Amino acid sequence: MRHAGLDLSRRGFIAAALASGAAGGCRSLGIFGPEPNLTFGVISDLHITTPESTATFRRALAYFRDRGVDAVVVTGDLSDWGLRSGLKHVADTWYDVFPNDRAPDGRKVEKIFCTGNHDYDGYWYGDMTLDMHVQGYSEEEALVKLGMKKCWEEAFHEPFEQVRRRTVKGYDFISSEWKEGKDGFKEAEAWFAANGKTLDPKKPFFVLTHYPFRNTTSCSGGGDAYCGDLFKKYSNAVTFSGHCHWTLNDERSIWQGDYTAIAVPSMSYTTIPGGYENGSDSRRGNPKASMAKLPARPEFREAQGYLVSVFDDHMEVERRDFTEGVEAAPAWIVPLGAAAESRYAFANTKKRTPVPEFPRGAKVDASVCNTEDRDGHWAIMMRLEFPSAHARNGRVYDYEVRVEMEDGSVAVVKRFLAPAFYRLERDEPSRQNFLFNAMALPETGKYRFRVYPRNCFGVPGKPIESKAFQSKPGKDKSPVWKTA
């Protein structure tokens, strides 16, 4: 709906917004022009186990319903244990919010769900299934044992096929079901060979898979990724994939090259990347007094997703945190057509992503403390404390600590994730408190600590430093280190 008194060209407004260099965009630019041609919600990795575990899924569906979506997309891992009961809990929640696939005004809302690895194999995933048995569930009701097609059609009242095409308001959605092994996308490739020419080249079409496509978004470099060479001939393809549990706060969750790829965050928990002192693959983190690892599965409460509005010349992708019930970051404004190949290429996104900075006058307080390391051994630990960094319309992703010698050389580099890197910036502590084992420090010479705040591309802001050059704790007869 246009606002009275406004005579603003939609194309001109979008062109100005893109030229401004903003990292994302504002919410619901549709107020300045026509209503979107299509609106749909996108979520992934529900990991439903019991009826109680559907709470955030229900919240997301209610939000999509209230925003008037035409469809809801889920890109796999609907269940955690891969059981028929989990699939039924998903279906029951859907039909509670959308009875008979209908919105309150009677409109049909299309459910476009596909399967993931947990839906097939979750019943034997080791420590993940311990709770399954404790709660009285059994692998005897595994979907693959009872028949995925049979269970799916009973739960969702629709045909199940390896590749499915659904058309909503003239836009095509092609979903590819999960299949183990490197040939998991072969059926979809065959489908495109047979049907690709029937896709409208003037409109975007949407491809839904659980695994991402290799060398697209930031989480797509692993062995699980599919080859995306198929889409080099389809510049109007937009892929949505889950599996990685990557946060939507990371600007590398959208990529544009020969086509557009978007990583869908999880409705259950966020992956904690490795390579950091506090990075972890641990399910519950590490509570030791030495640098605690961030927990990967904190009560299955980190629920994030997208609301996508499609217009003639662009898409608006709103990024929402369903746990907090707020927009988590500025919307992505994704051009369609000739401009689509470059707007969200990493090289361009990197230039636009805000760089975090420390508050004026900030410094690093360095001290030593005696405590246990993660292996339970007594150790001398270095403690660094400093104010958190911030970025306007962005956020700090991690901190790089450099041990700088008197001659300017860098002897040691340590990296720490911002504790709330995958959540809202308001969840960040006002001060950061990082520890690492003092044994990592050089045996000889004097040094100080220099700390850089970085965005998700690793671009650093201005550093802060500890003031004095000092020797390794215990090496200097008159140490100036503070003792915590």
CA distance 38 to 319: 17
Residue 316 parent element (H or E): strand 314-321
User: Would you say residue 359 lies in a domain?
Assistant: no
Q: What is the CATH number of the domain that holds 229?
A: 3.60.21.10
Does residue 296 form part of some domain? Answer: no
The Cα 75–Cα 453 span in angstroms is 33
Co-location of 139 and 228 in the same domain: yes
Domain match, 14 and 39 both: yes
Rounded (5°) CA angle 264-250-22:
110
Query: 189 and 162 share a domain?
Result: yes
Would you state the pLDDT for residue 483? 53
Residue 42 is assigned to a structural domain of this protein: yes
Domain boundary at 331, 352, 373, which?
A: 352
Tell me how many domains the chain contains: 2
- Nearest by Cα to 384 from 444, 443, 453, 445: 453
Residue at token pair 């591309």: 457
Do 132 and 80 share a structural domain?
Answer: yes
DSSP letters along 119-178, please? Answer: HHHGGG-GGGGHHHHHTT--GGGBHHHH-HHHHHHHHHSS---SEEEEEETTEEEEEE--
Residue 2, domain member (yes or no): no
Spatial distance between the Cα atoms of 305 and 273, rounded to a whole number of angstroms: 19
Contacts of 326 (CB under 8 A, 6+ apart): 320, 424
Question: Looking at this protein, which amino acid is placed at residue 365?
Answer: D
As to burial, measured by CB atoms within 10 angstroms (0-12 exposed, 13-18 middle, 19+ buried), residue 18 is: middle
Asked if residue 413 and residue 315 are part of one domain, the reply reads no
On whether both 242 and 371 belong to a single domain, the answer is: no
114, 74 Cβ separation under 8 angstroms: yes
Tokens 């994704």 -> residue: 334
Other CB atoms within 10 Å distance of the CB of residue 392: 10
Q: Does residue 288 lie within any of the structural domains?
A: no
How far does the chain reach from its first CA to its final CA, in angstroms?
60
Taking each helix axis as running N to C, give the angle between helix 84-97 and helix 55-66, from 0 to 180 degrees, rounded to the nearest 10.
30
276 located within any domain: no
Q: Is residue 78 located within the same domain as residue 149? A: yes
Contact present, 470 and 447 (Cβ < 8 Å): yes
Give backbone dihedrals phi and psi of 378, rounded to 5 degrees, phi first. -70, 135
Last residue of a domain, one of 352, 374, 393: 352
Q: How many CA atoms lie within 13 A of 122 on its CB side?
A: 33
The Cα–Cα gap between 269 and 246 comes to 9
Task: Look up the CATH number of the domain holding residue 440.
Answer: 2.60.40.10
- The pLDDT of residue 286: 52
How many other C-beta atoms are found inside a 10 Å radius of the C-beta of residue 150?
Answer: 12
DSSP annotation of 338: G
* Structural domain span for residue 383: 365-483
Domain co-membership, 264 together with 401:
no
Q: Report pLDDT for 73.
A: 98
Closest among 54, 111, 58, 59 to 86, alpha carbons compared? 54
343 and 420, same domain (yes or no)? no
Same domain, 57 and 84: yes
| H or E element, residue 305 | strand 304-310
Please give the angle made by the CA atoms of 351, 357 and 363, to the nearest 5 degrees.
Answer: 150
Q: What is the pLDDT of residue 31?
A: 47
pLDDT along the chain (484 residues), means of 10: 34 42 45 82 96 95 98 97 97 98 97 96 86 92 96 97 97 93 81 96 96 91 83 94 93 94 94 85 51 64 91 96 92 82 90 97 91 75 94 94 93 94 91 90 90 98 89 59 55
User: Are 130 and 229 contained in the same domain?
Assistant: yes
- CA-wise closest residue to 246 among 207, 300, 333, 304: 304
**How many whole angstroms separate alpha carbon 291 and alpha carbon 277?**
7
The residue from 352, 385, 411 where one domain ends is 352
183 burial type by CB count under 10 A (0-12 exposed, 13-18 middle, 19+ buried):
exposed
What is the distance, to the nearest Å, from the Cα of residue 237 to the centroid of all Cα atoms in its chain? 20
461 in a structural domain: yes
**Distance between CA atoms of residues 189 and 183, nearest Å:** 10
Instruction: Find tokens 């003239």 and name the residue.
Output: 170
Q: Rounded CA gap, 253 and 261, in Å?
A: 8
The average confidence (pLDDT) of the chain is: 87
Q: What does the radius of gyration of the chain's CA atoms come to, in whole angstroms?
A: 25
Torsions phi, psi for 385 (to 5 deg):
-130, 135
- Residue 314 inside a domain? The answer is yes
400: which 2 tokens? 């790089």
Kindly state whether residues 263 and 373 are assigned to the same domain. Answer: no
Paired tokens of 346: 């990493």
